[in-house]
Structure 1
Amino acid sequence: MNPLHPRRQHRVSHLLASLLVGALPLLAIIPTLIWQEKQDLRRQAEQQVTQAQIQLDEILDQAQLASRAILPLAGSRCEDAEQELRRQATIVPFVRSTALLRDDAIYCTSLSGPIPDPKPYSTPFVAGVLRLLPGNRTTPDVPVLHFRLRGEHGDALSAVDGRYLQLALQDASDEGPVYLIVGTRWLGPHKTGEGKPPHPTQIQAQRQSARYPYSVSTGYALPAGHWVLWQHHAALLLVVAALSLLAGATLYALLGRPASPTEELLRALDNEEFEGFLQPIVRPRQAGWQGAEVLMRWRHPREGLIRPDLFIPRAEESGMIVPMTRSMMNRLLRQLAALRLPDGFHLGLNISRAHLDDPRFYSDCESWQRALAGCGATLTLELTEREIIAITPEVEALFRQLHALGITIALDDFGTGHSSLVYLHQLAVDGLKIDQSFVAGIGSDGLSAHIVDSVAELAAKLGLDTVAEGVETAEQFDYLCQLGVGWLQGYYIAKPMPLNAFIRRLRAGDTWDGYETLSF
């Protein structure tokens, strides 16, 4: 399979990533909504206790008004004060009864007049002002709140009916009941008790009156998160869930789609998957390898070794061929650095129009030539003709500069490209490479043999070297040697091989014996 046109692939990691992306909006918004609900409940609780405190202060203001009215009578005889006590209990709102105290004992009330045997009260007043009772002798089941004012000769007392207080608390209550707390006793909308008010404490609000010694409190039980979300934010959650599903599905589709050819080449370049294979080149009647052509191969992590015809054209179209060549050559020459190559050895490298357009190409060639010089070899650039190359002054100057470095230039696949004769006329080239399609016809196709003869004759007249590629039989080899072709390359001599195999065979002397196959 061509890795530049892969099938759509889905992996478990794609599914997990898509599920995570799909869940993120919900994971982000659900805690936020629950937190917002808590804040709303806290604000609601604060509003409830504030409203209750305002109403209770107004009720106690009336009790204070009645107590102030009767305070001058404290210490006087009940017969003199009884009428005013009844009057205040009648005209002052919320006040059920009034009374006078002497030595902390009630001796006169608006309900029964004088008390024959007054006794000190057993329930203390909070801050000497308020006390909350669950009832009294007259109404044992009705709570009562006493408000006391102290005087020089005695105290004045106003009793507020607890039912008024409960109505105020009920009016302030919303989702949760509000409680009046006086000392250790509390009063709720429907009941009273001792100790802590029986409200939930997950969300709680309490407010102390600034004018009287009491406080009000309320509390909420935090409802189940799913109930809160569904009751208050169902529409929002459905929208977010739909968007999350869409985001996850979109990511799953994007992750599974094949990478574009250029993206795949970039990935392979970053992972150094392009490597140079070397195919030896020999000279007739000379033993050993006299040169080699560097052929790019792609060692794909899944597909294995990829044929060059499946990726080189795309690399040239996209301009990726330049960094791919640079990476491959730099790694190859680092491995060749410790090797001593035979005298006169040249290393051929295919270049295209994209290389000539790259501003770094000259410095790359300079670096490669210097590295090869350390091995006793030189660089040969083989100009491919798959794309038309404009012969500009800049290109001509580049060729002159490359020649000045000692680099030779040959036309690859001569006779099959766009304008080989134009290149011969305008560019300073050193050799021609006879295309393997013509070499393959030797012995079976008379026209191919005539073309090979003509190219060899043309090269000889122009003083150019010739290289024949695709030599696969002894007959082809003998014919090209008799024709005077200077360099031969093909499977008959050696197949392209990884650099390690090339070095191993070169060191072992397992190379070409130029005399064994000649039949003339």
Structure 2
Amino acid sequence: MNPLHPRRQHRLSHLLASLLVSALPLLAIAPTLVWQEKQDLRRQAQQQVEQAQVQVDEILDQAELAGRAILPLAGGDCAVAEPELRRQAAIVPFVRSTALMRGGAIYCTSLVGDIAHPKPYASRFAAGRLSLLPGNRTTPDVPVLHVRQAGPRGDAIAAVDGRYLQLALQDASDNAPVYLIVGQQWLGPRRTGAGRPPYPAQIQASRQSARYPYAVATGYALPGSHQLLWRRHAALLLVAAALGLLAGGTLYWLLGRPDSPSDELRRALDNEEFEGFLQPLVKPGLPGWHGAEVLMRWRHPREGLIRPDLFIPRAEESGLIVPMTRRMMDSLVRQLGPLRLPAGFHLGFNISRAHLDDPRFYSDCETWQRALAASGAVLTLELTEREIIAITPAVEVLFRQLHELGVKIALDDFGTGHSSLVYLQQLAVDGLKIDQSFVAGIGSDGLSAHIVDSVAELAAKLGLETVAEGVETLVQFDYLSRLGVGWLQGYLIARPMPLDEFTRRWRAGDTWRGPSDAAH
């Protein structure tokens, strides 16, 4: 498959990224909604205790009125005070009974009048004013709140029926009960107790009365976040989930799109996936390799080795062929340095119009030529004819400068591309490369042989070297040798090979020894 036209590729990282994007709307709004719900519960709890405190204060205000009315009678004769005690218990709202206390003991009440043997008041008053009891002898199952007022000769007590207080607390309770706390005792909408009221501890609110020594408090049990969100914001959550799935699905589709051809080439260039293969050249009648053409190959991580015809045209169109060639030649020249090549060893590689337009190309060739000269090789640029190249003054100057460096220039695939004869007329070139399509017809196609003859004759008249590529049979080898073609290249001699194989065979002397060596 051509890696520049890949199928849609989905990876685990794509799936994970898409799932994360799908969850982002919920992850973004859920904490805010939970925080908002907690704030709402706190406000609701605060409103409950404020309402309860107002109502309880109103009830205690009535008890205070009754107490002030009978306080002047405290310490005096019960028979004198009893009618007023009964009258206050009858006319003052919420007050169940009234009583007088002397020496810390109740001696007169609106219920029984004079108490022959007063007993000390067993319960303690919070701040000397309030005492909450779960019941008394008359109504043991009905809570009662005693409101005490101290006087110079005795104390007045107004007993508030706890059921009124419970009704007030129940009226203030919304989704959680509100409790009245007096000292160590508490009163709830339906029960009483000692110690801490049994309200949940997650969200609490309490309020202390400014006029009386009591407090009201409430607490909410916080449900699980998922329950809290679903109960109050189900529609919003469904919309957020749908938007997240849409965004995640879109991202998954986008991530799975194949890269553009240029992007894929840039990725391969960054990962150094392009490498130079060497196809040896021989001179007829001489043993050994006397040159090599550097052919770019793409070692793709998934597709393996990619043929050049699948990516070179795209690389030339995008201009990426220049950095690809630079990277390949830098690596190859550096690795060829330790080899001792024969003098005049022909090392060629293809260039296109993009190379000629690159301002760094001359300095690149200068660097490569200097490095190759140390090992005996000569750099040869093979100008491809797939694109029309405008022969501008700048191009002519560049070719002259390259010649002065000792770099040779050959026309590749001569006779198959654009304006080959114009190049011969306007550019100083050193050689012609006979295209393999003409070489393939030798021995079977008389016209192809005539074309090869004509190219060789033209090169000889112009004093140009000739290279024939695509030599695959002994018939072709012998014909081209007799014709005087200077360099031969093809599968008969050797296939393109990685640099490490070329180096190994060179050092082992495993190179060309003549036509009988065609097994190589």
TM-score, normalised relative to structure 1: 0.92
Q: Which residue of 2 aligns with 1:67?
A: 67
The answer to whether the Cα contact below 8 Å between 2:130 and 2:182 also exists between their aligned partners in 1 is yes
Query: Which secondary structure does the structure 2 equivalent of 1:223 belong to?
Result: coil
Matched, 1:244 2:247: no
Please give the alpha-carbon distance, in whole angstroms, between the structure 2 residues aligned to 1:467 and 1:36: 82
Q: 1:440-451 to 2 correspondence within 5 Å?
A: 440-451=440-451
Please give the alpha-carbon distance, in whole angstroms, between the structure 1 residues aligned to 2:362 and 2:436: 29
Matched, 1:268 2:254: no
Please give the alpha-carbon distance, in whole angstroms, between the structure 1 residues aligned to 2:390 and 2:80: 129
Moved more, 112-121 or 283-292: 112-121
Q: Which residue of 2 aligns with 1:433?
A: 433
What amino acid sits opposite 1:127 in the alignment? A
Please give the alpha-carbon distance, in whole angstroms, between the structure 2 residues aligned to 1:167 and 1:506: 106
Once the two structures are TM-superposed, the CA of residue 450 in structure 1 deviates from its matched residue by 2.2
Residues 391 and 76 of structure 1, relative CA distance in 2, 3 Å threshold: farther
Once the two structures are TM-superposed, the CA of residue 12 in structure 1 deviates from its matched residue by 5.1
Any stretches of 5+ residues in structure 1 without a counterpart?
A: none
Q: Which residue of 1 aligns with 2:337?
A: 337
Moved more, 429-438 or 134-143: 134-143
Matched, 1:402 2:408: no
Once the two structures are TM-superposed, the CA of residue 433 in structure 1 deviates from its matched residue by 1.3
Moved more, 344-353 or 390-399: 390-399
Any stretches of 5+ residues in structure 2 without a counterpart?
A: none
Q: Which residue of 2 aligns with 1:327?
A: 327
Residues 68 and 337 of structure 1, relative CA distance in 2, 3 Å threshold: farther
Q: Which residue of 2 aligns with 1:259?
A: 259
Q: Which residue of 2 aligns with 1:412?
A: 412
The answer to whether the Cα contact below 8 Å between 1:286 and 1:515 also exists between their aligned partners in 2 is no
The answer to whether the Cα contact below 8 Å between 1:284 and 1:487 also exists between their aligned partners in 2 is yes
Q: Which residue of 1 aligns with 2:132?
A: 132
Q: 1:135-154 to 2 correspondence within 5 Å?
A: 135-154=135-154
Matched, 1:292 2:292: yes
Q: Which residue of 2 aligns with 1:232?
A: 232
Once the two structures are TM-superposed, the CA of residue 226 in structure 1 deviates from its matched residue by 4.0
Q: Deviations over 1:18-47 (max 9, x none)?
A: 444434444554455444433332332222
Q: Which residue of 2 aligns with 1:499?
A: 499
Once the two structures are TM-superposed, the CA of residue 488 in structure 1 deviates from its matched residue by 1.7
The answer to whether the Cα contact below 8 Å between 2:474 and 2:515 also exists between their aligned partners in 1 is no
Once the two structures are TM-superposed, the CA of residue 14 in structure 1 deviates from its matched residue by 4.4
Q: Which residue of 1 aligns with 2:317?
A: 317
Please give the alpha-carbon distance, in whole angstroms, between the structure 1 residues aligned to 2:14 and 2:323: 30
Once the two structures are TM-superposed, the CA of residue 173 in structure 1 deviates from its matched residue by 0.4
Please give the alpha-carbon distance, in whole angstroms, between the structure 2 residues aligned to 1:266 and 1:307: 17
Residues 74 and 411 of structure 1, relative CA distance in 2, 3 Å threshold: same
Matched, 1:105 2:105: yes
Please give the alpha-carbon distance, in whole angstroms, between the structure 1 residues aligned to 2:92 and 2:400: 118
Once the two structures are TM-superposed, the CA of residue 350 in structure 1 deviates from its matched residue by 0.6
Please give the alpha-carbon distance, in whole angstroms, between the structure 1 residues aligned to 2:299 and 2:176: 72
The answer to whether the Cα contact below 8 Å between 1:283 and 1:514 also exists between their aligned partners in 2 is no
Query: Which secondary structure does the structure 2 equivalent of 1:374 belong to?
Result: helix
Once the two structures are TM-superposed, the CA of residue 467 in structure 1 deviates from its matched residue by 1.5
Q: 1:118-197 to 2 correspondence within 5 Å?
A: 118-197=118-197
Please give the alpha-carbon distance, in whole angstroms, between the structure 1 residues aligned to 2:339 and 2:502: 11
Please give the alpha-carbon distance, in whole angstroms, between the structure 2 residues aligned to 1:464 and 1:53: 112
Q: Which residue of 2 aligns with 1:380?
A: 380
The answer to whether the Cα contact below 8 Å between 1:287 and 1:515 also exists between their aligned partners in 2 is no
Query: Which secondary structure does the structure 2 equivalent of 1:288 belong to?
Result: coil
The answer to whether the Cα contact below 8 Å between 1:148 and 1:158 also exists between their aligned partners in 2 is yes
TM-score, normalised relative to structure 2: 0.92
Once the two structures are TM-superposed, the CA of residue 69 in structure 1 deviates from its matched residue by 4.2
Please give the alpha-carbon distance, in whole angstroms, between the structure 2 residues aligned to 1:183 and 1:517: 113
What amino acid sits opposite 2:309 in the alignment? D
Matched, 1:56 2:56: yes
Q: Deviations over 1:48-68 (max 9, x none)?
A: 122212322233233334434
The answer to whether the Cα contact below 8 Å between 2:344 and 2:378 also exists between their aligned partners in 1 is yes
Query: Which secondary structure does the structure 2 equivalent of 1:107 belong to?
Result: strand
Please give the alpha-carbon distance, in whole angstroms, between the structure 1 residues aligned to 2:504 and 2:94: 112
Q: Which residue of 2 aligns with 1:220?
A: 220
Matched, 1:454 2:466: no
The answer to whether the Cα contact below 8 Å between 1:187 and 1:193 also exists between their aligned partners in 2 is yes
Say how many residue pairs are matched. 518
Query: Which secondary structure does the structure 1 equivalent of 2:409 belong to?
Result: strand
Q: Deviations over 1:309-343 (max 9, x none)?
A: 11111221222222221222222222222222111
Once the two structures are TM-superposed, the CA of residue 390 in structure 1 deviates from its matched residue by 2.2
Residues 440 and 161 of structure 1, relative CA distance in 2, 3 Å threshold: same
Q: Which residue of 1 aligns with 2:482?
A: 482
Q: Deviations over 1:101-147 (max 9, x none)?
A: 21111223344443333221111112211111122334333221111
Moved more, 234-243 or 288-297: 234-243
Moved more, 25-34 or 213-222: 25-34
Once the two structures are TM-superposed, the CA of residue 503 in structure 1 deviates from its matched residue by 0.8
Query: Which secondary structure does the structure 2 equivalent of 1:342 belong to?
Result: coil
What amino acid sits opposite 1:228 in the alignment? L
Please give the alpha-carbon distance, in whole angstroms, between the structure 2 residues aligned to 1:365 and 1:210: 95
Please give the alpha-carbon distance, in whole angstroms, between the structure 2 residues aligned to 1:365 and 1:72: 121
Once the two structures are TM-superposed, the CA of residue 502 in structure 1 deviates from its matched residue by 0.7
Q: Which residue of 1 aligns with 2:283?
A: 283
Once the two structures are TM-superposed, the CA of residue 355 in structure 1 deviates from its matched residue by 1.8
Please give the alpha-carbon distance, in whole angstroms, between the structure 2 residues aligned to 1:390 and 1:60: 107
What amino acid sits opposite 2:199 in the alignment? H
